[in-house]
Structure 1
Amino acid sequence: MSGLELAAAAVLGSQLLDAKYHVKDDVLLIRKVVASAVPFLINCYRGRASYWYYFEKTVFKYPNNLAVSFPRPLKDGPSAKIDENGYAIYDDQFHLEQYTYKELYDMILRLSYILKFDYGVTAEQTIAVDCMNKPLFIILWFALWNIGAVPAFLNFNTKDKPLVHCLKIANVSQVFIDPDCQEPIKDTESLINEELPNVKLHYMNEVELLKVLSDKTRPKHRAPDHTRRPEDSDHSCCALIYTSGTTGFPKAGIMSWRKAFMAAAFFGYIMKIKKNSNILTAMPLYHSTAAMLGVCPALLSGACVSVSQKFSATTFWTQAKLSGATHIQYVGEVCRYLLNSKPHPDQRAHNVTIAYGNGLRRDIWPDFKERFHIQGIGEFYASTESPIATTNLQYGEFGIGACRKYGALINLITSLQQRLVKMDPEDDNEIYRDPKTGLAILADRNEPGELLMKILNAKNSEQTFQGYYGNKKATNSKIVHDVFKKGDAWFRSGDLLKMDDDGLLYFVDRLGDTFRWKSENVSASEVENELAGTKVVNQSVVVGVRVPNHEGRAGFAVIDPKDEYLDTTKHEEVLAKIYDHVNHSLPKYAVPQFIKISREIQASHNHKVPKNQFKNLKLPKGELGKDLIYWLNGDRYEELTEDSWLKIMSGASKL
């Protein structure tokens, strides 16, 4: 063999090895991590941990780049036009609002002046942001970062006692409220005034405020660096994002500066977000997916973030086309809604090449790419509170359905930080321990196990896992000790994943009392507490059940009624009382979709109700086809018949 042939063979062999082990990609990612992390840590040491400094650097580097794009829905706009092919055209239903980096920066500084001098906002305060997806959210958020205050992103669906709880645990002093989502606050205002009299509620006039912020004659305030919490370290709190848990009311997950930076720099790099990119998100900005994985990567790289005020399967691709999106964000439910929507010319008249998010089911993954002409899927696994995320930017055929796909080198590194452990066969919420050593055992390949993430400093865990603000008990419940050796500490994800023979990770299911519905985490305990408040229930069990052709799990409540309501003739009254109560006290996504009235709830020897017996309930009539189950049809519960079940599965009736 000649020297040229040997060289060619060597190149081919290298390419085949790289295709299998992805060495080149791993090396580039490691180089990116080192090149970004070292300057970040130096900046933290210099008292500049805040993301604000990175945003300013982008502003000064790309002042004329488009920063924010917003297809604002026209409230009184024209109805959709029908073209010659019978397709509805939605372009005229939106007004495209756009701001360059310089314009956005100036608006942020003008709002900073108002917040500081008119409302007295300081770096010592926690300020709640109650706002829909729109530029106003981002302007308010970054104005608070400029001043040094901690923004708390309220889920604008939250109301009543859970809302008061959110304000109380975070020690919120002021709330700024978008007029488009003010109803839950208005409905709860008397309770807030009663229990939290020092909390100030400010209902913003968005139209007038945007005029003021666009007025170049208005004063601006760029806070001096020494007032912007220079004592913050990389693990200090930069924002509070509320998450449902297994203990009832929402918890305030602490987002650290390190997580915001890692999301912006490393996640953005993996998802190929560059200065000419445009990320469209219809995910709520009060969640970490849109805020930390959408806005932060965009505004670090000089890209544009396009915000959709509310997800609509009908107009989503029109908004992608109008805004010029190159990337879109999703959760699994969104992908199925889009696939179930009617074909439309705009579904391919866009510039989107990458869709990224979490929960895209393996069975519809290829169909989603094909129908909407998407080249790459960026599936990830993370939670608001988790210290580490996993990613899979998938092209071609390999890696479909996985939430982690790296090469051999990074897999070796992550195996030291992320591990799947066997679960106790008697209680799938508990980690199995070896009877001899007392230590956990790694799950086998293709065996579901709980994902654990290593806490580097077990004695000072908050440096790795910041947990929940003002809730030490909930924070500690997410940490498990003495797992693989005495003295170690690991973060419990609360989720089951499995690893295949290629080292790919796949999401399997959630553990415990939390399930996901309508893109939101639902706390079964919170729902059970509210059902107890109806005064017609002795006890209840709430679980999430799978419904064909629907993402996540729908809320199913098994109700043990008080004696006077046990007779079936009283069921209608019971169900009406339940609906009236939970519709007022719970977000819409947490209201049970199915209810069974029964006396079959029995506690085990440890006084806990074993819920597994209810998680696989067969709809619509139970295992023997004789159960009487009710479903929420609009604003009332009615019997779940075979006919209504078929309509639910086909999409003719909506849950």
Structure 2
Amino acid sequence: MRNAVSASLSLGSLGLLRLFGVPWSWSLAAGFGVFLGTGGWKYLYIVVRTAKRDLNGLYVLLRVKIALWHHLRRNSNIPSIFAQTVNQHPNKPALIYDATGETWTFTQLDLLSNAVAQWALAQGWAPGDVVALFMESRPLQVALWLGLAKVGVEAALINFNLRRDALLHCVGVSVSRGIVFGAELAGDRLFYIYTSGTTGLPKAAIVVHSRYYRIAAFGYHAFRMRQDDIIYDCLPLYHSAGNIMGVGQCLINGLTVVVKKKFSASRFWEDCIKHNCTVVQYIGEICRYLLSQPVRPSEKGHRVRLAVGNGLRPSVWEAFTERFGVAQVGEFYGATECNCSIANMDGKVGACGFNSRILPNVYPICLMKVDEETTELVRDRHGLCVPCRPGEPGLLVGRINQQDPLRRFDGYANQDATRKKIANNVFKKNDTAYLSGDVLVMDELGYMYFRDRSGDTFRWRGENVSTTEVEGTLSGLLGQADVAVYGVSVPDVEGKAGMAAIADPTGTFDCDAFLREVQQALPPYARPVFLRISPQVDTTGTFKIQKTRLQREGYDPRLSTDQIYFLNSRAGRYEAVNEELHSAIVEGRMAL
């Protein structure tokens, strides 16, 4: 590393001059000159700008790691840690169910989970068995999986929005011996329909006790949560953000958590006032949905000081904090199973976290270069991966060490899926690393910014187009509407043409006005060649835009009832795509 070389040369010069009897003042001046002359000044600049941040990050890392080792030595698990929490806060509210106003104290939650444990044993379930939970978010779901864990039974948390093949896949891949479902889903006969389908199905990530603790403790310390905080958890409890980052603060750290059955943009701030919440959670597009709501008095009458989550677009960040008066945004990056989580601890707008430029090996993660055509990792002449320089987008990877609870990778229930996420000879010979599948970019101070999912970025007109960046821009132009951007293939045309699916529930979309705005906001290569206008754009249960079906249907008007438009560059306008125009595009008779 150039900084280390600069320091070594500087110290070497200093020592050599002193060896020959040169006075200290001259030797120091010469050594400092060598340091600056070999790039050390940049390093000094980075140290000055980031030392406080890095020390805080190191403190959080060490605190979580020491606590983890402490629990591992004592063979603690989540139920035993929760038992300590119950002893400390027996009568404190643990969970509040917003739908009914029902409050469960830590003692009540403990007693109910004990009853669940006894019931599980009566069913004949043994340690290592798996039971699927299929229900909407409610405190009972927490008591169920916690009670199962007390007798060693693993819970498979199933997305309650799933139906048919996806539901059958998730239950099947977990090898569940039983399924507990909510009464609200009992009459849904789709549950019993067996259909085929193997693409785009979820993977079952393994969450061991140490990982659950690590994620919850990491969030608590990184974002400076307090014992008197009340968390508003409107995220689904089958998701790690809602269940671990949210409910985990209750079980591990003794905070009160308000469980919302389903996210409501119109009720969000009223709920926060009702329950005196000081921390809220977000994910995906939630903050944008809140911004699209009409102004209400409640949005400034709350006590919320911290919003914790991931997926907050830079274009929405400052508008969210300014309008709603939220002092701190705790944006983080991390998947349930990953070993390369990062966090934005100091509120750097747009950043999802950082890694120290001073001591990068303390937390061994890195952005590695990827071949733009094959999406494979680029290797040097020694067969090792090539790290990115600041400003270069790359794939985030984390070195695996199965003996270190912070570095281990537990994988998925499906071993083939696990193998696909591991690379060899990454940092050094014979090592292994976790492949995040996400492209980030790091600036000169070590702040990292989410760029795209690997494979979502596409090339057009010889340029890389980031779907995430274009989506953020277009959504902002359209008053925070739902927008999905993706690349579509055109026969005999190099690269992929950009296509944007836009939600227009009122039917008032104006192509001409949209094009004028786009021409001012985006470079030519990033402007959508195709548009798809529909009443709504599908999202997942965690408020992330779904693109699989959109990409499959492309711009063929026969495959959808939505209105599709094509940017006729010669005419300078968007034109409706009918079968005749579609044929002309596919056959190369219409210039793109």
TM-score in terms of structure 1 length = 0.64
Give SS of 2:313's match. Answer: coil
SS of 1:364 mapped into structure 2: helix
Deviations 1:600-640 (A, max 9, x none): xxxxxxxxxxxxxxxxxx9732465456279xxxxxxxx9x
Match of 1:164 in 2: 168
The amino acid of 1:312's aligned partner reads S
Residue 455 of structure 1 deviates from its aligned partner by: 1.1
**Distance (whole Å) between structure 2 residues aligned to residue 385 and residue 466 of structure 1:** 7
Question: In structure 1, which of residues 409, 412, 420 is the aligned counterpart of residue 367 of structure 2?
Answer: 420
In the alignment, which residue of structure 2 is the partner of 1:131? 135
C-alpha change, 1:300 and 1:22, in structure 2 (3 Å) is farther
Could you tell me how far apart the structure 2 residues matched to 1:303 and 1:424 are? 45
Q: Which amino acid is 1:402 matched to? A: A
1:225 maps to: none
Determine the structure 1 residue equivalent to 2:520. none
Displacement of 1:179 in angstroms is 2.1
SS in 2 for 1:419: strand
- SS of match in other structure, 1:379: strand
1:356 aligned residue: 308
Identity rate, percent: 29
Pair 622,362 (structure 1): closer, same or farther in 2 beyond 3 Å: same
- Offset at residue 365 of structure 1 (A): 0.8
> Which residue of 427, 433, 436 maps to 1:484?
427
Structure 2: tracts of 5 or more residues without a match: 1-43, 459-466, 476-480, 492-533, 558-562, 583-592
Q: Which residue of 2 aligns with 1:40?
A: 68
SS at match of 2:339: coil
What is the 5 A alignment of 1:144-543? 144-182=148-186, 186-191=189-194, 248-395=200-347, 399-405=348-354, 411=360, 413-414=362-363, 417-427=364-374, 429-434=375-380, 436-456=381-401, 464-469=408-413, 471-512=414-455
**Pick from 109, 116, 129: which aligns with 1:104?**
109
- Partner Cα separation in structure 1 for residue 109 and residue 487 of structure 2: 45
How far is 1:461 from its partner?
12
2:362 maps to amino acid: I
Q: Are the aligned partners of 2:306 and 2:326 in contact in 1 as well (CA < 8 Å)? A: yes
Give the direction of change, closer, same or farther, for the CA distance of 1:506–1:619 in structure 2 (3 Å limit).
Answer: farther
TM-superposed deviation, 1:382: 0.6
The one-letter code matched in structure 1 to 2:238 is Y
Q: After TM superposition, give the deviation of residue 30 of structure 1 in Å.
A: 3.6
**1:42 CA displacement:** 4.5
Deviates more, 1:546-555 or 1:445-454: 546-555
Of the candidates 549, 569, 592, which is equivalent to residue 592 of structure 1? 549
Task: List aligned pairs for 1:77-96, cutoff 5 A.
Answer: 95-96=100-101
Alpha-carbon deviation of 1:341? Answer: 0.4
Aligned residue for 1:67, secondary structure, equals strand
Q: Structure 1 residues 506, 181: CA separation in 2 closer, same or farther (over 3 Å shift)?
A: farther
Q: Does 1:64 align with 2:91?
A: yes
The Cα of 1:439 is off from its aligned counterpart by: 2.6
TM-score by length of 2: 0.70
Q: Structure 1: which 5+ residue stretches go unaligned? A: 1-15, 73-94, 196-243, 516-542, 561-578, 600-617, 631-638, 640-655
Partners in 2 of 1:100 and 1:32 — Cα distance?
A: 29
Report which of the two has the higher share of strand.
1
Distance 1:34 1:445, change over 3 A: closer
1:53 maps to what in 2? 80
- After superposition, the Cα gap between the structure-2 partners of 1:387 and 1:111, relative to the gap in structure 1 and judged at 3 Å, is same
Larger RCO, structure (CA 8 Å, separation 6 or more): 1
Name the SS for the 2:143 alignment partner: helix
Aligned mates of 2:406, 2:130 — CA distance in 1: 20
Instruction: Label 1:462 to 1:60 Cα distance change in 2 as closer, same or farther (>3 A).
Output: closer
The equivalent position to 1:120 in structure 2, one of 109, 121, 124, is 124
SS in 2 for 1:293: helix
Q: Aligned residues, how many? A: 464
CA offset digits 1:260-298 (Å, max 9, x no partner): 111122221112222211111211111111111111123
2-side partners of 1:433 and 1:337: how far apart? 42
Distance in 2 between residues matched to 1:289 and 1:177, nearest whole Å: 21
Q: Is the 8 A contact 2:367 2:396 kept in 1?
A: yes
Query: How far is 1:551 from its partner?
Result: 5.8
User: Aligned equivalents of 1:495 and 1:629: distance in 2?
Assistant: 36
CA deviation digits over 1:129-173, x for unaligned, max 9?
112111111111211111211011101111212221212211101
SS of the aligned residue for 1:495 comes to: strand
Q: For 1:378-400, what per-residue CA distance to the aligned partner results, in whole angstroms no more than 9, with x for missing partners?
A: 011111221231000344xxx10
> Any residues of structure 2 matched to 1:610-649 within 5 Å, and which?
620-622=565-567, 624=569, 625=574, 628=577
Task: Assess if the C-alpha contact under 8 Å between 1:255 and 1:385 holds in 2.
Answer: yes
